[in-house]
């Protein structure tokens, strides 16, 4: 049995996100289309004699049960009935609290990696069940699919075709936004009617979706909360479009926005321009293929 494994934990973007209703348990019913991208964290998993240890490189994060990576290891070992020890090392490349799903992806990488290392033989469905207890996006990252339509709280997945060849500029203004805060304020934005924004299809900022990108309505209901509080996020969207993006949208609860380009030089030029204008973290990545 192998003693260690390194797992890639990719980021994601939401090509649309509609909020439909608030549930009694505090979660929200949503409809979204998620796409994994090449930008990824690395999670190193090594079997140990006892206990769980976590070291984080590249960012100041909790290294105990306050971190989803730690909790994922704990939940997996409990589900497997194992007393095996695990040493975890997390190398962060995905911005934190940025709407890119980094924490959920890291947790999913731990579940999948331990399944291999311990030979537990859990099916993808079983791993998704464990993942759902950790966070709404974890089941998507457990899935081997590069893209999926998600409903429920984000845990009910339907296969979707991966985006075609394109370049994606991710522009993060350098500050974090709390997902919990965004969803709590969404109800206030819609004046108590959780369906107000979710029912009506609205175009996100952009021109024609263009070749190689999913057709349909591009929108993110959560922009109605994040953009008024952080107008620089809206400005970054407009600048991506001005730089030649075929569409631009905030991903998740933000504050990261993405622009889709079909020309590599345009994408790199936009990244350089955005860095000069805003600083923060601006990256060029590509969608993961199917």
pLDDT of residue 194: 40
In the predicted structure, residue 163 carries a pLDDT above the cut 80: yes
Q: Kindly report, as residue ranges, where domains of CATH 3.30.70.890 are found in the chain.
A: 167-285
pLDDT bucket at 31, cuts 50 / 70 / 90: very high
The CA distance from 25 to 77, in Å, is 26
pLDDT of residue 244: 97
| Average pLDDT score over residue span 44-63 | 94
Give the model confidence (pLDDT) of 185-244 as tens digits. Answer: 986 565 544 433 333 333 344 443 333 344 446 899 999 999 999 999 999 999 999 999
pLDDT of residue 290: 79
Helix pair angle (68-80, 124-132), 10° resolution: 130
Task: Retrieve residue 222's tokens.
Answer: 């959560």
pLDDT bucket at 1, cuts 50 / 70 / 90: low
Task: Retrieve residue 276's tokens.
Answer: 């000069």
In the predicted structure, residue 125 carries a pLDDT above the cut 60: yes
The CA distance from 27 to 105, in Å, is 19
Is residue 222 within 8 Å of 182, Cβ to Cβ? yes
Return the closest-CA partner of residue 33 out of 165, 191, 145. 145
Helices (H), 96-171: 102-117, 124-132, 138-142
- Please list the active-site residues: 12, 137
Fold of 167-285: Alpha-Beta Plaits (3.30.70)
Q: Kindly report, as residue ranges, where domains of CATH 3.30.230.10 are found in the chain.
A: 4-159
H-helix or E-strand spanning residue 93: none
The CA distance from 38 to 17, in Å, is 21
Question: Is the CATH number 3.60.9.10 carried by domain 4-159?
Answer: no
Task: Retrieve residue 247's tokens.
Answer: 């569409």
């Amino acid at each position: 049995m192998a003693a260690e494994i390194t797992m890639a934990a990719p980021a994601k973007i939401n090509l649309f996100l509609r909020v439909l209703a608030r549930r009694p348990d505090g979660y929200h019913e949503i409809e979204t289309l998620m796409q994994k991208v090449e930008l990824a964290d690395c999670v190193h998993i090594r079997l140990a004699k006892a206990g769980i240890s976590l070291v984080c490189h590249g960012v100041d994060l909790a290294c105990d049960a306050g971190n989803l990576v730690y909790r994922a290891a704990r939940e997996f070992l409990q589900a497997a009935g194992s007393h095996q020890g695990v040493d975890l090392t997390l190398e962060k490349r995905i911005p934190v609290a940025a709407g890119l799903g980094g924490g959920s992806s890291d947790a999913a990488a731990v579940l999948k990696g331990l399944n291999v290392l311990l030979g537990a033989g859990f099916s993808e469905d079983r791993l998704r069940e464990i993942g759902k207890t950790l966070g709404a996006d974890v089941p998507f990252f457990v899935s081997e699919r590069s893209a999926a339509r998600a409903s429920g709280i984000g845990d009910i997945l339907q296969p979707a075709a991966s985006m075609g060849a394109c370049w994606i500029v991710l522009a993060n203004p350098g500050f974090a936004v709390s997902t919990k805060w965004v969803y709590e304020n969404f109800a206030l934005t819609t004046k108590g009617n959780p369906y107000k924004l979710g029912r009506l299809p609205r175009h996100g900022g952009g021109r024609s979706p263009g070749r190689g990108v999913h057709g349909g309505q591009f929108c993110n209901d959560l922009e109605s909360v994040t953009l008024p509080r952080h107008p620089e996020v809206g400005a970054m969207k407009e600048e991506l479009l001005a730089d030649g993006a075929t569409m631009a949208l905030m991903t998740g609860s933000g504050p990261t926005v993405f622009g889709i380009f079909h020309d590599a030089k345009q994408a790199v030029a936009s990244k350089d321009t955005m860095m000069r204008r805003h600083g923060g973290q601006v990256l060029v990545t590509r969608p993961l293929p199917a």
